[in-house]
Structure 1
Amino acid sequence: FTGSNSTDDTGVVSYFWDFGDGAVSASADPSHTFTTAGDFNVDLTVTDGAGLSDTTSVTISVSAPNQPPVAVISATPLSGEAPLDVNFTGSNSTDDTGVVSYAWDFGDGAVSTSADPSHTFTSAGDFNVDLTVTDGAGLSDTTSVTISVTEATTNQPPVAVINATPLSGEYPLEVTFTGSNSTDDTGVVSYFWDFGDGAYSMATNPVHIYKTTGEFVVELSVTDGNELSNSAFVTITVDKIANNMIVLLMENPSKLGMSKIQILDKPSDVVVRAIYLHDTNGRLVQVYNPQNVITDTGYELPVYRLENGIYFITLVMNQRDPLVLKLIVRN
């Protein structure tokens, strides 16, 4: 500060400085150090020999010293198989006056000056990636992140595993297939079933009904995400319905206007749906509702209204071909 340029007709005899931060001085031209930021009103009071005085002021503006930046780094993903593409973010770094430059060292010989670069690591290893940020005053900060890269593994084809229950039976045969036990190192993404009878499915565990007899080779093809595939096979045997059931026409020729049908060893799942009576010309003579003529051992058909002669009784059953019986009527 300079106060010696102050004037008086008889001469200035004293100087008094108030620097506004609690410090004072009696020098004509003092120096002072402001240690904190702010606006400081500095007063100079001069006095002559007669005790007369005058005061003037000046404002000193002190700013805070520049702070170094803070480097902030993020990376996605942090690990994986080579070649590994990693996205880095450095733009979240901060500084009081603003970051002016970014310097990336990816640890494999590659560098970048982008705020948010991407980099591909082509070999396996642990790579210490450094980010250095610098502000306009040349102050800097550095932070790091480690990227772990493993050797690339060779994708293996899936292994198709097929299960079927039952493997054989009488038609119509319902079979439950299971393909979910198939395996793959990266996961099975699709299933394709060929049931061998012209039907197909893309379900993992389908159910299929075989409506004809024969041996059917079922193929399951499974595919992974890299389009590698594998197949497994199983044979389904579908037989005709075993005809162990015995059907007897007990009153033949019929007596007393009644014809009795007895069924022996009838499976519980076999149901008589309808009973038809035709003459020798194929003409439909009578239709019987099985529920109306059923007995403990079979069926009793009233035929007392029929003319004497030969007729044919047809039993229509589920899961079996119609059964035809020859009836002689003698009323």
Structure 2
Amino acid sequence: MSYRLLALILALGLLSCGDSKTRTYENLPPEPQIEGGDRQGLVGEPLAFDGRASKDPDGTLASLTWDFGDGGQSSEAMASHTYLTAGSYTVTLTATDDVGASGSAVVRVSIAAKQVNQPPVPAILGDTTLEVAQLGSFDARGSTDPDGAIASYAWGFGDGATGTGTQVQHAWGRPGTYDITLVVTDNQGATATAKLTLVVQAKANRPPVADPGANKTAHPDEQVAFDGSASLDPDGTIASYEWDFGDGSTKATTALATHAYVAVGRYTVSLKVTDDQGATGTATAEVDVQPLAYSGTYAVNADPAEAWCSITKATWIPTQLVLTISGTTATADEIIPPDATPKIHYSGTWTEATRTFHMTGDFNEGMGIVHHFTYHGTFQGTDTFTGTDTEQVVSNGLPLCTIEWQVTGTR
């Protein structure tokens, strides 16, 4: 008789002297419980099993035993198991009570082969050649992950600097060759690296830009002002200026310069500027030197004592316009009375702007006889003008003096 049954009899007063009877009670088996029921898992990943809800209706549980169907076992109420092969398994939980009775419960487990995470594929698009201090741009948006998503982007610029994100910019302070690295990490922790080689060159000197100013119009002997101060150097300073005025004269070496042209004509003025690194820039402008509208007065004198006619200048002639006027000797000057003072006077004006020459004159015999004449000449071509005329002066019907003059001019 078990001690449990004896205790029960004593409690009920069923055992007394002179009355001895034996009764037998059936032990109830334990009831194992597996939380969660059937389940699925992956090869190599642990699965948890919970048998803590198991019980014995008429006693206590002595033990719990797990059989995972692949040879693996556990005696823990809460157990964990990892399957190494894909397939279907029957997991059995056996509960044993304190009198040796047992009961079992089962669940079905389906184990699938674990999918291997494929690493991401990084891609870099960006500059491969830069100058020192020039900002470079790099783009990783072409990176992909074949079985998930990219979680992060990490950049290294080869000079100790780093960056994050799909698009970055960076500038280098020294020339050299740098490896730009991109490390991408996917949503399952896999990483991959790409590299781009960048060459950083010393900053190229940009040449200066010369500015001699606008085209100009001037006259001979007029001082023309030139201003090159608008010239610039995009990445430094201008160290020197050199003006060539196009007429063979001495060059000027200052930003501001003046020059006078002697001859009429069109001249090309060249300004060359040199920057602080020796690079040069040149630009030109045109100067149109135009003649002035000159005018003057001349006199022709017939000297009876010398018996010849001469022409002299009565006023100053600009050096730019030279006139030559000549006369010839008289053929009958011996008949001029000794006391006669005949005079021939003429004056002329010329205007190159209209390309004409106009001359008027008179001859006074000294006896009240005055002869008047008029002469008009024109410029020939672009550089010279010429013309001739003859006036015969008579007295008492006889030739007194024949004057022939020729007017020529050059620029």
Please indicate, yes or no, whether the TM-score normalized by the shorter chain is above 0.5.
no
TM-score (norm 1): 0.45
Q: Compare CA radii of gyration and give the structure with the larger one.
A: 2
Query: RCO greater where, 1 or 2, for CA within 8 Å and sep 6 or more?
Result: 1
